[in-house]
Structures are given as C-alpha cells and as structure tokens.
Amino acid sequence: MHISTLAVHSGQRPDPHTGAVNAPVYLTSTYEFEGIGKLRGEFEYSRSGNPNRHALETVLAALEGGKHGLAFASGQAATTAVLSLLRPGDEVVTVPNIYGGTFRIFDKVIVNYGIKVRNAPDFTPEAIGGTLTDKTVLVWIESPTNPLMKILDIAAVAEKTHKHQGTNKTLLVVDNTFASPALQNPLALGADIVTHSCTKYIGGHSDLIGGAVIVNDERLWQEIKFYQNAAGAVPSPLDCYLQLRGLRTLPLRMAKHGENARKVAGFLRQHKNVERVYFPGFEDFPGHAVAAKQMKGMTGVVSFELKTAANDAIGEVDKFVRKLGLIILAESLGGVESLVCHPATMTHAALPPEERRRAGIGDNLIRLSLGIEEAEDLIEDLKQALE
C-alpha cells in the first residue's frame, strides 16, 4: 500500500469491543491474569507493552519499510537504546554537524563506559570509510543534517560500512528525523537501524515527546527490545495515541512543509541582509542530486546566515528574532507552526565553540522550521524582521 494509506490504517483498526473507529487510550498500568502464568490477553504490564504502543510501533515499521518498530519516551531515549548494543572497547564513527544532543551523549556519556567515538574528517562516504577501524561497531549519520542540511549518500555509506571487515559486524545507523518516513526510507538504502525523534514531524503538533527505532534484523530487534523493557524509557499510552494521530496526516503535512520551505528559501536567497541559505532543494546546493535520488521531496527546514557585524553576531540575531511576529522563537521543529532557532545557543549549545566552528555552525546561523501556514504570510514576517 502507499504511504498515505499505511499512515491511516497500519496497526489501527476499529476497537474490537465497541467498534469505535478511533481506538481508545488504554490508561492502565497493568493487565489481568486468568491464572498463574496465564494472561487474559496479549499484555501484562504497560512498561512491557500496551495496545496504543503496539499500534504505534506497527505503523512506524510499516512507514519505514521495516519489520520491527520500537517506541521510546524521547529521541534521546531511542538513541541510548541503540547505543546499548555497544560494549567496552567498541567504537562509533560519526560525522561533523550531528544533532547537539547526540553529540552530548557521544562526548559525555558513552565515553565513560570505555566506548570511543571517532569523527570522520569530512562529510563524504570515502571519509567515513577511511575512519573505520577493527573496533568500529556503529556508523552514525544524519541526512539531511541538523542544522546545515548536508546530504550524505546513504547507499554509498552503507556500502562502505558493510564492506568493512572488523572484529564485529559494523552497522549503519541513520537518524531520519529531518526527512521523516514520508520523504526517505534509509532501510531500503542499506541502513541497518533507523532512529527518529518523534517529537518532530511524526508527532507534528508540538504537543509530545517521543522517539523510535526501526530495524529489519530479528536479533537487533530482540536486543533493543530487551533494553527498552529493562530500562523502561517508554512513551505513555497518551503520547502513543497522539503520535498515531499525527502520523495519519504525515504525508499531507510534509508536502506543505516542503512547499513552504522552497518558497521561503527562495525569498531568503534574494534578500540583501542574508549571507547564505542552506536548503537541499536548490539545484546548485552540494548534495542536491543525491537528495533528489534518495528523497521523495524536500523537508521543511531551512537554515541561513544573517549578515551581521563580526563582533556582534548574536546581538543582531537576537534583534532579528525579536522582530518576528508570526514565527516563534523556540527549540524543536516539525510542528504545524513555524519556529525559528539559534543553533549556537540552543540546539547545539552542548558543542564546545571549537566543535561548532569545525561543524560550520556560526553565531549568525539561524534555523527555520516552516510549518503549514501560508508561505506568503511567513515571507512577510521574515521580510519585516530582516528590514
């Protein structure tokens, strides 16, 4: 079935007890046993499983073209669950310009358990392949990246990863948050594990926190599922219900997000107070051809550099965002409303200044998440603030 049909129907059938088309939220912590060792139904305790979570995990797997989906209480919880596959002495290879929260886990958390993180020197499959060692267990990438919208050829990275002959099998992990399952399916391109911050496009309404992991491999699913239950960082039934509601309109919303991003990016590129625009939809943008090949459309994120005085970039960015009337200054992205973010002091504040510079995140960089409003209204808001 097509993704629009899967988003509405996969894992979501009328309630068998009442016939309600919209299944209820199962706000229960535990379930009745008929006798010793005999469950009345499929579930026994909501940390281990819940009808709402089961439906969410089913549809997430279907949309990503995977066999198994696992839902978590946040994107960071999903990331941590994947990293639970590692053991002391293992290594992770990643690239510059990843999400600040992921960098923080790599830089401040997993290193305490004897795990080493290596950064590829450049944002290319060749550079990633050249960074792999005998101890590399995971290659961790984003495409598009946060916040510079860099594009990696996922199939080429998968080939480099799987050709590598190390002590253990090397797995490719793709954070697919920025594209969403509506625009890109990394498993079909050779990835082993896909992660999401469901807080963003999957939820789509800025009213929940959630994360997900999707895999095809049975062993990986069992290992991460064991961690999910043991660690217990699972979403509530209500959060699962809200994500299911959001997923039903995901393809429609992503089309509007992408349309608004194209229009806004085009406006920004022509404005005298804008230094540079980062948007893969431009034909001359590095990686555009790869994006056109592996994505079904453009995401709703546009980043740009404001023309500022070198000694007061943050001050001038602050003046700009304060002048915006429609677009809201806030962290996160992917909601129906448009948001503006200053990565250096918000999403990527966890990166040391030298690491931000290496990643290309300057103090004058601004990230926009375009919602589903009319593009003309968003452009007018940006225009008056820029001028």
What's the DSSP call for residue 259?
H
Query: Span 24-29, mean pLDDT?
Result: 94
- Record: fold of 3-248: Aspartate Aminotransferase; domain 2 (3.40.640)
Phi, psi angles (nearest 5°) of residue 26:
-90, 85
The tens digit of pLDDT for each residue in 151-162 reads 999 999 999 999
Q: What pLDDT score was predicted for residue 240? A: 97
Query: Span 350-363, mean pLDDT?
Result: 88
Q: What pLDDT score was predicted for residue 354? A: 87
Question: So which residues are the catalytic ones?
Answer: 47, 99, 175, 200
Q: What pLDDT score was predicted for residue 12? A: 83
Q: What pLDDT score was predicted for residue 167? A: 73
Q: What pLDDT score was predicted for residue 168? A: 79
The tens digit of pLDDT for each residue in 184-205 reads 999 999 999 999 999 999 999 9
Query: Span 32-57, mean pLDDT?
Result: 95
Domain regions of the chain by residue span = 3-248, 250-386
Average pLDDT for the chain? 95
Identical topology for domains 3-248 and 250-386:
no
Q: Please, which pLDDT band fits residue 27 given cuts at 50, 70 and 90?
A: very high
Pairing of strands 328-329, 301-306: unpaired
Query: Span 44-54, mean pLDDT?
Result: 96
User: Between these two residues, 277 and 15, which has the higher pLDDT value?
Assistant: 277
pLDDT of 165 strictly over 80: no
Sequence-ordered list of residues with C-beta below 8 angstroms from that of 342, at least 6 positions apart, any chain: 314, 317, 321, 329, 365, 366, 367
The tens digit of pLDDT for each residue in 224-276 reads 999 999 999 999 999 999 999 999 999 999 999 999 999 999 999 999 999 99
Q: Please, which pLDDT band fits residue 174 given cuts at 50, 70 and 90?
A: very high
Q: Judging by beta carbons within 10 Å of its beta carbon (0-12, 13-18, 19+), is residue 29 exposed, middle or buried?
A: exposed
Q: What pLDDT score was predicted for residue 207? A: 97
**In contact, 93 and 118? CB cutoff 8 Å:** yes
Q: Please, which pLDDT band fits residue 95 given cuts at 50, 70 and 90?
A: very high
Query: Span 303-324, mean pLDDT?
Result: 94
Q: Please, which pLDDT band fits residue 11 given cuts at 50, 70 and 90?
A: confident
Query: Span 307-325, mean pLDDT?
Result: 93
Query: Span 104-123, mean pLDDT?
Result: 95
> What are 368's two structure tokens?
């926009």
DSSP reduced 3-state for 55:
helix
Query: Span 315-334, mean pLDDT?
Result: 97
- Record: fold of 250-386: Aspartate Aminotransferase, domain 1 (3.90.1150)
> What are 378's two structure tokens?
């968003």
DSSP reduced 3-state for 199:
coil
Q: What pLDDT score was predicted for residue 18? A: 86
**β-bridge partners, 193:** 173, 215
